[in-house]
Amino acid sequence: MTEGARVWLIPDGYLPERSQGDQPSHEAICVLNTGVRDATLRITFYFEDRPPLRDVEVVVSAERTRHLRTDEPEQLGGQSLPRGVPYAVRVASDHPVVVQHSRLDTSATALALMTTLAHPVQHDEADAP
Amino acid sequence: MTEGARVWLIPDGYLPERSQGDQPSHEAICVLNTGVRDATLRITFYFEDRPPLRDVEVVVSAERTRHLRTDEPEQLGGQSLPRGVPYAVRVASDHPVVVQHSRLDTSATALALMTTLAHPVQHDEADAP
Amino acid sequence: MTEGARVWLIPDGYLPERSQGDQPSHEAICVLNTGVRDATLRITFYFEDRPPLRDVEVVVSAERTRHLRTDEPEQLGGQSLPRGVPYAVRVASDHPVVVQHSRLDTSATALALMTTLAHPVQHDEADAP
Amino acid sequence: MTEGARVWLIPDGYLPERSQGDQPSHEAICVLNTGVRDATLRITFYFEDRPPLRDVEVVVSAERTRHLRTDEPEQLGGQSLPRGVPYAVRVASDHPVVVQHSRLDTSATALALMTTLAHPVQHDEADAP
């Protein structure tokens, strides 16, 4: 069983600068691997005014989900993303997975949420990951 | 008329631990069956650190919608999902349906909402449900 | 130029019972017709426990958008949808359009928003509208 | 590597009339260009009651993202969009890109967020941009 796609794109990444309450404003790249083999992801972060940050490697085990916090360097192989700056994400995987992206914004007195599936790249559009 | 797909995937499931006001923080798996035959769903829940919870069975009648609350075990065949833990969902159906996933978070003084369609698995990607 | 699809499905419809402030809680079915011919929509509303409400007819002019409020019967050919009840939507059009669905919830002291594109039915899945 | 599509559609655009706090209510058209060539976008804005506003031109450099604020005329070639009026968007590009659309609403005492990917037009649906 292979479900999903090997390349996913997320245009709207943004880590709000401010947080209130006990939850920091953050985003999560949420991955589901329904397959029977572990998937190795290679994540690229794109910016408006500088070259991409490439080759952040993350493993999602077989038949597991993983919700990667992009504000926590220890979840991104030590890479740190700047706050208050637009970014975008490309997730490539050696086995098909499904990717969703969500933001929790606590910069106001109440929290706000948004989410979307990432855009799956079709096999005839994409090179190997 | 058969509309939709037989397998749908949702990577970002999460039941917030806290609630305020008279509405508990919750999520709903919303299913639409536009066909003339009842659809039997088999739902699998995936986690980060433990094996999947499989074979939760739910029926969506012909030409009806059903909004399944994932925080109410009586809607999931008695299965109870933990709060405060990332999870993901696979919905398989014996007839085509459409699946959307929404979260209502009341952990702050005001509520927050997010929603997305699930990812439909194409016929050539998926095994039988 | 024909862009979009002729049939779109939205599983998660819900009109919150309460509202605060000067904006009522509401939903909108947002349609974009980039074509050069007017599109006539036929909308079906599905429920959990009763037969569908069919054949609500709406026109979206060529090269125009229309944001249909589902809480305003005058925008739905006089049909009134109940509040506090899960529903779902099928939009069929005689020419291709694109459909998005959004909810504004003002039941708490601050508003909450959610949105998603509807699910486009592929030509080989769907009957004529 | 060409990833994404050359035409994207967004039905639900709306710039809220009111704002509170230090962030204005706004929307962003977020574009990711993973390709090695700069992409030139031509954006059309559709309304309910007037002809479209065409040919707003914007460049997204190779391997960069760009988050276009639709409330800032200087980001739209000097074009100004009205507040409090439903609109829709068509983004055409000379090279494949991915497009997401997000709204931040600060009209209440707390902010609200919503987002969705735009609808990609398939090659056999669309004319040249």
Q: Which residue of A has its CA nearest to B50?
A: A64
pLDDT at residue A20, rounded to an integer: 86
pLDDT at residue A22, rounded to an integer: 81
Of A9, A116, A126, the CB nearest to D32: A9
pLDDT at residue A108, rounded to an integer: 80
pLDDT exceeds 80 at position B127: no
Q: D116–B112: do the CB atoms touch at under 8 Å?
A: no
pLDDT at residue B122, rounded to an integer: 75
pLDDT at residue D69, rounded to an integer: 96
Mutation target among C31, C36, C89, C115 for the D interface, most CBs of D within 10 A: C115
Spell out which residues of chain B touch residue D116, defining contact as CB-CB under 8 Å.
116
Kindly report which listed range (A64-68, B103-107, C73-77, D107-111) carries the lowest average pLDDT score: D107-111
pLDDT, mean over chain B: 91
* Mean pLDDT, residues A11-25 taken together: 90
pLDDT at residue A126, rounded to an integer: 43
Main-chain dihedrals φ then ψ at residue B92, nearest 5 degrees: -115, 140
Who has greater pLDDT, C127 or C119? C119
Q: C112–B117: do the CB atoms touch at under 8 Å?
A: no
Q: How far is C108 from chain A (nearest CA, A)?
A: 11
pLDDT at residue C44, rounded to an integer: 98
pLDDT, tens digit (0-9, with 9 covering 90-100), for B61-117: 999 999 999 999 999 989 999 999 999 999 999 999 999 999 999 887 778 999 999
pLDDT at residue B14, rounded to an integer: 95
Who has greater pLDDT, B2 or D35? D35
Q: Which residue of D has its CA nearest to B116?
A: D116
Q: Coil, strand or helix: which one is A28?
A: strand
Burial of residue A53, with CB atoms counted within 10 A of its CB: 0-12 exposed, 13-18 middle, 19 or more buried:
middle
Of B7, B86, B108, the CB nearest to A67: B86
pLDDT, mean over chain D: 91
pLDDT exceeds 70 at position A41: yes
pLDDT, tens digit (0-9, with 9 covering 90-100), for B93-102: 999 999 999 9
pLDDT, mean over chain C: 91
Q: Are residues A45 and A13 in contact, defined by beta-carbon separation less than 8 angstroms?
A: yes
Q: C96–D47: do the CB atoms touch at under 8 Å?
A: no
Please report which confidence band the pLDDT of residue A117 belongs to, taking 50, 70 and 90 as the band edges: very high
- C interface with B, Cβ–Cβ below 8 Å: 7, 9-14, 44, 46-49, 51-52, 86-88, 90, 103, 105, 107-119, 121, 125-127
Of B111, B116, B126, the CB nearest to A100: B116
pLDDT, tens digit (0-9, with 9 covering 90-100), for A24-39: 899 999 999 999 999 9
* Mean pLDDT, residues A13-33 taken together: 92
Q: Please name every residue paired with B29 in a beta bridge, in sequence order, or none if there are none.
A: B68, B101
Q: Are residues C58 and C29 in contact, defined by beta-carbon separation less than 8 angstroms?
A: no
pLDDT at residue A122, rounded to an integer: 75
Q: Coil, strand or helix: which one is C95?
A: strand
Q: Which residue of B has its CA nearest to D110?
A: B110
Spell out which residues of chain C touch residue D46, defining contact as CB-CB under 8 Å.
32, 34, 63-65
pLDDT exceeds 60 at position B37: yes
Q: C105–B113: do the CB atoms touch at under 8 Å?
A: yes
pLDDT exceeds 50 at position A129: no
Q: Which H, E and C letters describe chain D, residue by residue?
A: CCCCEEEEEEEEECCCCCCCCCCCCEEEEEEEECCCCCEEEEEEEEECCCCCEEEEEEEECCCEEEEEECCCHHHCCCCCCCCCCCEEEEEEEEEEEEEEEEEEECCCCCCEEEEEECEECCCCCCCCC
Please report which confidence band the pLDDT of residue B125 belongs to, taking 50, 70 and 90 as the band edges: very low
| C-alpha R_g of chain A | 15
Q: Which residue of C has its CA nearest to B4?
A: C121
Spell out which residues of chain B touch residue A34, defining contact as CB-CB under 8 Å.
9, 44, 46, 90
Please report which confidence band the pLDDT of residue A62 belongs to, taking 50, 70 and 90 as the band edges: very high
pLDDT exceeds 50 at position D76: yes
- Burial call A91-126: b when 16+ CB within 10 Å, e when fewer: bbbebbbbbbbbbbbbbbbbbbbbbbbbbbbeeeeb
Question: Secondary structure of chain A: what % helix, strand, coil (to 5)?
Answer: 0, 50, 45
pLDDT at residue A123, rounded to an integer: 61
Who has greater pLDDT, B50 or A124? B50
pLDDT exceeds 50 at position D128: no
* Mean pLDDT, residues D95-99 taken together: 97
pLDDT at residue A88, rounded to an integer: 98
Kindly state the percentage of chain B with pLDDT values over 90: 79
Identify the residue whose tokens are 């589902």.
Answer: C70
- A interface with B, Cβ–Cβ below 8 Å: 1-4, 21, 23, 28, 30-32, 34, 63-67, 96, 98-100, 102, 104, 106, 109-117, 120
pLDDT exceeds 50 at position D61: yes
* Mean pLDDT, residues D12-34 taken together: 92
pLDDT exceeds 50 at position C127: no
Distance CA B65, CA B74 (A): 18
Mutation target among D15, D23, D26, D119 for the C interface, most CBs of C within 10 A: D119
pLDDT at residue B128, rounded to an integer: 39
Dihedral (C-alpha) A102, A104, A105, A111: value to the nearest 10 degrees?
Answer: 130
pLDDT at residue B123, rounded to an integer: 60
pLDDT, tens digit (0-9, with 9 covering 90-100), for A80-97: 999 999 999 999 999 999
pLDDT exceeds 60 at position C124: no
Spell out which residues of chain B touch residue A120, defining contact as CB-CB under 8 Å.
119
Spell out which residues of chain D touch residue C98, defining contact as CB-CB under 8 Å.
9, 11, 119
* Mean pLDDT, residues D84-100 taken together: 97
pLDDT at residue D123, rounded to an integer: 60
pLDDT, tens digit (0-9, with 9 covering 90-100), for C32-85: 999 999 999 999 999 999 999 999 999 999 999 999 999 999 999 899 999 999
